[in-house]
A = this chain, B = another copy of it.
């Protein structure tokens, strides 16, 4: 009998997740019911934000809290094997917000997006630069950041999946782009591979580096980190600054007080706005076409951190919190 393997939540992570928080579970391969498609998954996207729903009672309007022993929710891409959903047929490639498994049953509750396999990029790009992370960078920078030539744009987790794209988009807009990342090596790669103008190593002296990297203050902050770093950045924002809140990896599983200086938003007449790419599905084609054009023109690079096999999924997720990735983290099944 054919089997499927799920990555389940073995226990609730205590702060940053570790590989032992996850385990593998096998079960017989199910058949799709009415309105369902059975998908053979090829790529699993690792996104730190899902850490948020791993805590007891963490359910909200977006997702319920994940249950111990149940498959972990994430973002997955695969090929339809068998379908009883009217919109999808065998051979279709789908992306869905669904559990970390090698096979999945997906229905309309799973934010399914169909991918056209005729397009000329590796399919895994649709989880990264042309997927939710690239699109998050695009929507956050386009709709909220709106960088202008000569402005200073600051990006946290600048070498991460979203940050690595967000910074490049700001550079394309003509802004001076400053990235915050952990460690000298990553900071060097921001400059040499992604076109950042300056980098701040958050393991070093933040204040001194801020003064050097952002002598004219910060006009746009694209925040993937939250936490104490946001308070530091607020000290440096200019009048009319825009802060795009994309993620808050520093706070996932580590609840902590927010910035004590939100009053800066008043004195600087600044805007802070949170967003989700998921709710902009209608604009994916427009956004993807623009990102693809920049990729083709050689103006945009799509760094990836790729591991292999279902057993690597839990560890790859943990790598995000340890900052081991540069670019988009994906597990190929």
Residues on B with C-beta less than 8 A from A275 are 266, 269
Q: In whole angstroms, how far apart are the Cα atoms of A235 and B300 in the complex?
A: 38
Q: Is residue A182 within 8 Å, beta carbon to beta carbon, of the partner chain?
A: no
Question: In A255-294, which residues have CB < 8 Å from any B CB?
Answer: 255-276, 279
Give the distance to chain B from A116, nearest Cβ to Cβ, in Å: 28
Are A270 and B263 closer than 8 Å at their CB atoms? no
Residues on B with C-beta less than 8 A from A259 are 258, 262
Known: A239-B61, A269-B276, A272-B271. A258 touches B262 (CB 8 A): yes
Q: Is residue A226 within 8 Å, beta carbon to beta carbon, of the partner chain?
A: yes
Are B269 and A260 closer than 8 Å at their CB atoms? no
Residues on B with C-beta less than 8 A from A256 are 260
Residues on B with C-beta less than 8 A from A226 are 262-263
Please tell me how many copies of the chain the complex holds: 2
Are B274 and A266 closer than 8 Å at their CB atoms? yes
Q: Is residue A248 within 8 Å, beta carbon to beta carbon, of the partner chain?
A: yes
Give the distance to chain B from A292, nearest Cβ to Cβ, in Å: 26
Q: Is residue A52 within 8 Å, beta carbon to beta carbon, of the partner chain?
A: yes
Q: Is residue A62 within 8 Å, beta carbon to beta carbon, of the partner chain?
A: yes
Q: Which residue of B lies closest to A280 (CB)?
A: B269
Range, interface on chain A: 35 or more
Q: Is residue A152 within 8 Å, beta carbon to beta carbon, of the partner chain?
A: no
Question: In A211-264, which residues have CB < 8 Å from any B CB?
Answer: 226, 230-231, 239, 245-248, 251, 255-264
Known: A256-B260, A259-B258. A245 touches B265 (CB 8 A): yes
Q: Is residue A60 within 8 Å, beta carbon to beta carbon, of the partner chain?
A: yes
Are A269 and B258 closer than 8 Å at their CB atoms? no
Specify which of B61, B255, B265, B271 is in contact with A268 (CB 8 Å cutoff).
Answer: B61
Q: In whole angstroms, how far apart are the Cα atoms of A60 and B261 in the complex?
A: 13
Are A279 and B274 closer than 8 Å at their CB atoms? no
Specify which of B265, B269, B271, B279 is in contact with A269 (CB 8 Å cutoff).
Answer: B279
Give the distance to chain B from A276, nearest Cβ to Cβ, in Å: 6
Give the distance to chain B from A261, nearest Cβ to Cβ, in Å: 7
Give the distance to chain B from A117, nearest Cβ to Cβ, in Å: 31
Residues on B with C-beta less than 8 A from A261 are 258
Specify which of B248, B263, B271 is in contact with A266 (CB 8 Å cutoff).
Answer: B248
Are B267 and A61 closer than 8 Å at their CB atoms? yes
Q: Residues on A close to B: CB < 8 A?
A: 52, 60-62, 226, 230-231, 239, 245-248, 251, 255-276, 279
